Amino acid sequence: MVQDIRIQKTFEALFALEDIREIFREALPTGLDETEDREFMKKVSELKEIISELESGKGNVKVSRLAGNLPIRDKEESFINIQPIQAAGRLTVEARKALIAYGDGYSTCDSCKKPFRLDKITKPGIADFHTELAEFLNMDEARVVPGARRGFQAVASSLVEKGDIAIVSALSHYTEFLSVENAGGIVKEVPLNENNVITAEATAEKIEAVIRETGKVPKIVMMDHFDYLFANEHEIKEIAKVSHQYDIPLLYNGAYTVGVMPVDGKALGADFVVGSGHKSMASVAPSGVLATTEEWAPVVFRTTQMKGDLTARKFGIKEVEMLGCTLMGGTLFSMMASFPAVQERVKHWDEEVNKSNYLVDKILSISGSRVLSEYPRKHALTKIDTTDSFDTVAKTHPKRGYYLHDELSKRGITGVFPGATKAWKLSTYGLSWPKVRYLADSFAEIAEKYGLEVRENGE
Ligand SMILES: *Cc1c(COP(=O)(O)O)cnc(C)c1O
């Protein structure tokens, strides 16, 4: 795959503009002096040259690394990226612009006034954004957090004390384990059924067993709506109901749902809804959301009660679990800039699922391929098993398992783990139909090239 030089030149033009911007940052507010003016003119003419190379599609690579060691990342420009954790975290163009404008450290804090808390800032509309986030999830209160994991941590740290039990799924994410461990608690896992799904019945049985064996009622049930391994849908609504029968609050882990599909916290019966900004809300990392109900807000968003023994200082309405303020710059503004697009895109989840099924069907038409996730797919992420298709080629190929990665790279496809030909994951999230068809055709083409049988399945 030949990388289009115009992509390279686009980066160079962006960098050249930043160099120009830097001149203004260095200058006195009264304007550029003579030297700066000369520098400015020089940089502008360099930019013009880059623009003309951009136009003609000719030229050499002038910038290959930033600060001597950071290569330019052109994965999203030069490739179709099917890496599942990256698909829905790709920034919108508005988020990228926001990052340019608000990348400086504490850029949220320009107009921070008493009572000095991030979610109270009205200029720009950070307070409104918090209100809208809560509405978006149909919950009462929301805070932005540095990743879904920090949402779990805030909840676990508020509800779980030493030796307390948290119920999680046998497919729970490691960060759920760690958040409980961090609070001094113990996880107990609900087993999967034969279809790799967590049922409400299994959850009830686990809660019963824990109560029987330990004499303790679990403090929280943390459950993934779609898990990270198969992206199977678990019985989240029914699990919430079961949890409530034991008076246990439910944390809805929406790392793979909030920001890609509609999530109605109240309808699901969630006491806490956690989402990941960088995984599913087209935002800069680390970002995420923790939303809760009126009932639980005073617990998880409790304010500081501490008083300094010497100075008698108190810090008013700062929230303990948030450590005061959370996303103070480009992370938050990228979330805010992407939010209108995110609100819109969740309405088109069905179409994303259609794309997912289209590609999976094509892969299944390659003889020997299997899908390990539930099928038909209800999510854009899928785990497939190509042990009896692509991996049979790896056995004799001089490059072994790496051949598939190479063949995909040649076709401008990235995001498959190098060497993986057995069980691996992919996501079609956010890809246009032409890209999805291109992907499907590429897999079929590679299969045919290596003599694997590709069935015509009514396409
Ligand atoms: C990715 C993921 C997380 C962690 O999200 P962060 O925002 O990176 O903390 C948690 N749970 C599940 C199910 C995930 O897939």
Q: How many domains does the chain have?
A: 3
Pocket-testing residue among 153, 279, 290, 429, ligand 1, by greatest number of atoms within 8 A of Cβ: 279
- Chain centroid to Cα 243, Å, comes to 27
pLDDT given for residue 457 in this prediction? 63
Ligand 1 pocket check for 169: Cβ under 6 Å: no
CA of 47 to the centre of ligand 1 (A): 40
pLDDT given for residue 3 in this prediction? 76
Q: For residue 287, give the ligand 1 atom closest to its CA.
A: 7
- 153 and 210 inside one domain: yes
Ligand 1 pocket check for 81: Cβ under 6 Å: no
- 313 and 424 inside one domain: no
Ligand 1 pocket check for 256: Cβ under 6 Å: yes
Ligand 1 pocket check for 155: Cβ under 6 Å: no
- 295 and 262 inside one domain: yes
CA of 173 to the centre of ligand 1 (A): 7
Ligand 1 pocket check for 147: Cβ under 6 Å: yes
Residue 419 lies in a domain: yes
The protein residue whose alpha carbon is closest to atom 1 in ligand 1 is: 255
Ligand 1 pocket check for 149: Cβ under 6 Å: yes
Residue 145 lies in a domain: yes
Residue 83 lies in a domain: no
- 237 and 358 inside one domain: no
Residue 75 lies in a domain: no
- 314 and 437 inside one domain: no
Q: What are the φ and ψ backbone dihedral angles of 254, each rounded to 5 degrees?
A: -105, 30
Q: Residues 378, 227: contact at Cβ < 8 Å?
A: no
Residue 369 lies in a domain: yes
pLDDT given for residue 358 in this prediction? 98
CATH number at residue 234: 3.40.640.10
Residue 319 lies in a domain: yes
The protein residue whose alpha carbon is closest to atom 8 in ligand 1 is: 147
Select from 275, 293, 328 the last residue of a domain. Answer: 328
- 9 and 52 inside one domain: yes
- Quote the domain boundaries for residue 141: 107-328
- 289 and 198 inside one domain: yes
3-state secondary structure the chain: CCCCHHHHHHHHHHHHHHHHHHHHHHCECCECCHHHHHHHHHHHHHHHHHHHHHHHCCCCCCCCEECCCEECCCHHHHCEECCHHHHCCCCCHHHHHHHHHHCCCCHHHCCCCCCCCHHHCCCCCHHHHHHHHHHHCCCCEEEEECCHHHHHHHHHHHHCCCCCEEEEECCCCHHHHHHHHHCCCEEEEECCCCCCCCCHHHHHHHHHHHHHHHCCCCCEEEEECECCCCCCECCHHHHHHHHHHCCCCEEEECCCCECCECCCHHHHCCCEEEEEHHHHCCCCCCCEEEEECCCCHHHHCCECCCCCCCCCCCCCCCECCCCCCCCCCHHHHHHHHHHHHHHHHHHHHHHHHHHHHHHHHHHHCECCCEECCCCCCCCCEEEEECCCCHHHHHCCCCCCCHHHHHHHHHCCEECCCCCCCCEEEEECCCCCHHHHHHHHHHHHHHHHHCCCCECCCCC
- 195 and 276 inside one domain: yes
The residue type found at 294 is: E
| Single pTM value for the model | 0.97
Select from 328, 362, 397 the last residue of a domain. Answer: 328
- 288 and 435 inside one domain: no
The residue type found at 449 is: K
For residue range 133-172, list pLDDT tens digits in order: 999 999 999 999 999 999 999 999 999 999 999 999 999 9
CA of 148 to the centre of ligand 1 (A): 6
Looking at the DSSP bridge assignments, the partners of residue 135 are none
pLDDT given for residue 2 in this prediction? 53
Candidates 169, 191, 179; CA nearest to 147 is 179
- 269 and 384 inside one domain: no
- How far apart are the C-alpha atoms of 238 and 203, rounded to whole Å? 10
CATH number at residue 373: 3.90.1150.10
- 17 and 133 inside one domain: no
Q: Residues 355, 376: contact at Cβ < 8 Å?
A: no
pLDDT given for residue 32 in this prediction? 98
Residue 302 lies in a domain: yes
Ligand 1 pocket check for 288: Cβ under 6 Å: yes
Residue 338 lies in a domain: no
Spans in the chain with pLDDT lower than 50: 1, 458-459
- 215 and 354 inside one domain: no
The protein residue whose alpha carbon is closest to atom 15 in ligand 1 is: 228
429 Cβ contact list (under 8 Å, min separation 6): 84, 87, 88, 260, 352, 356, 380, 381
CA of 207 to the centre of ligand 1 (A): 24
